[in-house]
Structure formats: C-alpha cells, structure tokens
Chains A and B, each alone.
Chain A
C-alpha cells in the first residue's frame, strides 16, 4: 500500500467510527450533557454556593474544567472499547485483517474515532456549562493540546481493553472499577492541597490528576501540578499505550488463533 492508499484506509476507518457514534447520538452525545448538567446544578449551584471559593475561584468555575475533562475521558474510552469489542464480537474486524491495511493504521483509525467522540462530547458539555458558569480562558494552547492528548491516551486505553475483552462485562469492568474512581479522585472537585499529606502523595500516582490540573490551568491559570510534568506524564502514557496496543494487534491477541 502506498501512502495515499494508507491515508484512504485510515479515513475509511475514521468515517466508519464517526458515523457509528453519530447514528446513535441519543446514546452517545446526549447522556453526558444531561449528567454534566446535573453536576453543574448540584455541585456547582446548590452545594457549591455553601462550599465557597476554591483557589480564589467560585466553586462551579473551579470544577467546570475537571467535569469537561471527565466527559472527554469517559467518552473517548467508551467509544473505542465498545467499538473495537463490537467488531470482535461480530467478527467484522476480519474485514480489516484480510485487507492490506497496516496494523498501525487500524490502531490510529480507532483512536481517532475515540478522540472525535471525546472532543465532540467535551464541546457539548462546555456549551451546557456556559449556562451555569463563566468560562474563563487563560491559555487556549494548553486547553486544546491537553484535551487532545487526554482523548488520545484514553482512546488507546479503551482499545487495549477492547482487545482483551472477551464478553460485554469485560468492557464495563475497567470503566466502573478503575476509570471512574481514578477520575473522581483526580482533583476534579477539589485541590489536592486540601488533602492530608499522605493522600496528596498518593494522588500523585493517579495519572488523571496531571491531565485535569493541566486542563484547569488552561482555563483558570492555577494547577496543583507543574505543567511540564503533566505533559511529560501524559506523553509517556500515550507512547507506552500506543506501543503496547500496536504489539497486541501485531500478535493478533484476541483476534487471531
């Protein structure tokens, strides 16, 4: 396959992935808007007013970046894990395996699908947030680069989960028991400086903390974590997950006998 043909194959996978989640937008785009709307009402307006300012900002303004990031994380992940497992379950992954599409194009195609859904949901949630909070912008480059990298990272993680999944239960285990706790404990609702020293140190092992804080820095200009460290951690995870995901595809793990 020459470069042009590879690009067409990549584009085909991306179009297929985007059409997949767009056709079922009531299941993929609307629910996070409703859920985040409830978060804004309850944590932002109702409870938030009693909590008072956080790091010098209204509580709702403080949590908006984290909540947007949470929807990007969960939707990027969910898109790729369910889509890839679906192709395995229906054996339609074989359409790609018999074709000359290189494995890295398959991986990039699925990941791009996850990124598009994650960012689409992120934009939708941001629009909802505008009804409840003032959206401040400190550094647009940080906002866009960090949301993109986070969506890539969790799309890759979703892909790996999809490769290993052998049943529909397996695609919900990691999001329920790993991703959700890490996200809630990743500094979305609070600054880790409020925690006792032990829990502050323990939080540093949570990769989501770095992404949420960098993203918040883009909006508010405050972060618990050094910005450079956030980028470094995110890049390391992306590289590691990409290499691992590609290796699984090359070995045909879970898709070839």
Chain B
C-alpha cells in the first residue's frame, strides 16, 4: 500500500514559546478516509497548517505521496487540496471565478478551469449561484464552495478541517455522501471534526492528538474495541420502583420512566432486559447516551490529562 502522507517528528514552537506540536509521527495510507481528532488547541490545525504550507514548521519532515515538502514542494503541493476551517476566499469575487482562479494556480488552462468549475458547482448544488459573490452565500454554501475549490485540481489527498461546522443536518449528510463518493473514487481524505459521530460514520482510521502529542493512531475498529464501558438510556413503559444491583452494571434513574445504565464490555445487555422483565416493565426504546467514539475520545483525553498531571 502506498503512503499518501508521511509525517516524521513534526515539531512546532510558536514565537511566544508555545510548543504546539512535540514531535508527531503519522502515516496515512493511500485511499484512506482518516480522522484527525483532538480537543481545541490540541495541535490539529497546526498540523494541517504545516502540511498545507500555511504554517512554518520548527522541525520534522513531511512527504506527500513520496514528495518531500521541503525539497520537492511543487510536486507535493500539487497532490494536495485543502478545505480550511475558516472561510478564506475573496468574498467580492463571483463564485465561479473563485473556483476557476484556484484551478489556474495549479496550471490549468482557463477554459478547462471554467469547465471543471461548472462540474463541481453542479455537483455541490451551487451552479445557480455561480455569478453571486461569496459574501452573498449562506454559511453552508460557503462551505460547499470551499469543497468545490479544493477539488478543482483533482487532488490525490484532500484535507478537510471542520468541513461541516455550522451547517444543518441535511446539508451535512449530503456532504458526507459526497465525500464518500470522492473517497471511493480514490481520493485519500483526512478529516478533522468536532462531530465525533461524523468521524465514526465516515472514517476507517483515526488519530487523536492532545497537547501536541499523538496519543492514538489506529483503525476505528480497533479503537472502538478499546471502549470498556458504554452508557445506554432506556425509556420504560412504567415507573420503576427499585433499581437492582448487579456486578458490571450501574443503573440510575433520570426520571420515573427513564433509566441510565453503564455497562462494561464483558457484560451482556440482556441482563438489563432480564431485570426489567422480572419487574414487569417493558423497554419502549433504547439509545446510546453518547456515540461510542465520543465516549472513547473522552476516556483517552481524560487519561492523557491525568497522566500529564501525575508526571513529575
């Protein structure tokens, strides 16, 4: 398998002395849909900024499809597409020109640039807005414009920094579908997001950064296997009189007919059903309190925080 992105010992110390990255090693395989997760200020955006040449690194090496970003930057950059977190297009330019100009920066002839712009604007439902200036677009449209712009030169590696922040659920889901389509056509995707449901839905491999260090990098499946405890919410048909006590289960009432149960992965959820049946209570519905990745993410970040506190 080819490596799309290879990061070795990446360090960044800002001018004010803040060490944002403390020597990160990371590999993303070609064709992967990869999530880069971490709390605010963890170093995700700094990592992406360095990969995309928007931030100067302090130390380390980056290769994009085998092209070193320092010594072969033109070839490395040609493989990359970026959808940044903040809107960064000229808001006074018509939408179609934003896309066509970006194509021009990659050496694509103007005629072809406009043809490609049409293709991606159609795909992302912005064709009707092609003559509109960026400032007249809604937040969701601006996000889609940035995705179209990032794709116009058909990059082999697409980096999306919080691509669905602030967009409604319908647009978010349609964007997920589009990204899946892009990924299945062979484009490697790296995604950062605060919506862990999004990462769980889309990504195959996940890395977690916290305080400038990589605390996890593995497949989603393996990561979720590490989840020891899950929390479920049960909606019950009748009020429950008394909670049972059982090893490996922790139950508490939220109100008379709603119960929260924590269950470790060695226990069967059937035990909860058995307990409720024995009390003559039916389960009307059941759901996870948080999605599984979110649960695990919180565990890992808390663990890292405790380790750093206890470190001498």
Which residues of A does B touch, CB under 8 Å?
A: 1-2, 4-6, 8-9, 11-13, 15-16, 19-20, 86-87, 90-92, 94-102, 252, 256-257
Contact = CB atoms under 8 A, between A and B. Distances in A.
A8 B108 contact: yes
B63 to A, nearest CB: 16
A252 B56 CA distance: 8
Nearest to B104: A12
B97 A8 contact: no
Interface residues of B, number: 37
A95 B102 contact: yes
A256 B52 CA distance: 11
Contacts of A86: 90
Contacts of A1: 74, 78, 107
B104 A8 contact: yes
A16 B97 contact: yes
Q: Interface centre among B54, B108, B113, by most A CB within 10 Å?
A: B54
Contacts of A11: 104, 110
A189 to B, nearest CB: 37
21 contacts: A1-B107, A2-B107, A4-B107, A9-B105, A12-B113, A19-B97, A90-B88, A90-B90, A91-B84, A94-B82, A95-B88, A95-B101, A95-B105, A98-B53, A98-B80, A98-B82, A99-B153, A100-B74, A100-B105, A102-B74, A257-B55
B77 A98 contact: yes
A247 to B, nearest CB: 14
A6 B88 contact: no
Contacts of B153: 99
Across the A-B interface, the 6 shortest Cβ-Cβ residue pairs: A5-B107, A12-B104, A91-B88, A99-B105, A100-B74, A100-B77
A97 B53 contact: yes
Contacts of B75: 100
Nearest to A93: B88
A101 B88 contact: no
A253 to B, nearest CB: 11
A92 B88 contact: yes
A8 B53 contact: no
Contacts of A19: 97
Contacts of A99: 77, 102, 105-106, 153
B301 interface: no
B107 A8 contact: yes
A97 B14 CA distance: 19
B109 interface: yes
Chain A interface helix/strand/loop/mixed: helix
Given A95-B89, A98-B54, 7 more contacts: A5-B106, A6-B107, A8-B109, A92-B88, A92-B89, A100-B107, A257-B56
Contact of A94 (B74, B84, B108): B84
B103 to A, nearest CB: 8
Contacts of B106: 5, 9, 99-100
Given A5-B106, A9-B104, A95-B102, A90 B91 contact: yes
Chain B interface helix/strand/loop/mixed: loop
A99 B149 CA distance: 12
Interface string B170-194: 0000000000000000000000000
Contacts of A90: 88-91
B107 A87 contact: no
B78 A16 contact: no
Nearest to B84: A94
Contact of B107 (A9, A16, A91, A95): A9
Contacts of B52: 97-98
A148 B277 CA distance: 90
A100 B104 contact: no
B70 interface: no
A25 to B, nearest CB: 14
Contact of B105 (A2, A91, A96, A252): A96
Nearest to A92: B90
Given A90-B89, A256-B55, A100 B78 contact: yes
Contact of A97 (B54, B78, B86, B149): B54
Contacts of A15: 101, 104, 110
Given A12-B110, A256-B55, A257-B14, A87 B90 contact: yes
B105 A94 contact: no
B73 interface: yes
A12 B105 contact: yes
A130 to B, nearest CB: 34
Q: Interface centre among A4, A92, A98, by most B CB within 10 Å?
A: A98
A20 B113 CA distance: 19
Given A4-B107, A12-B101, A12-B110, A256 B88 contact: no
Contacts of B82: 94, 98
A195 to B, nearest CB: 45
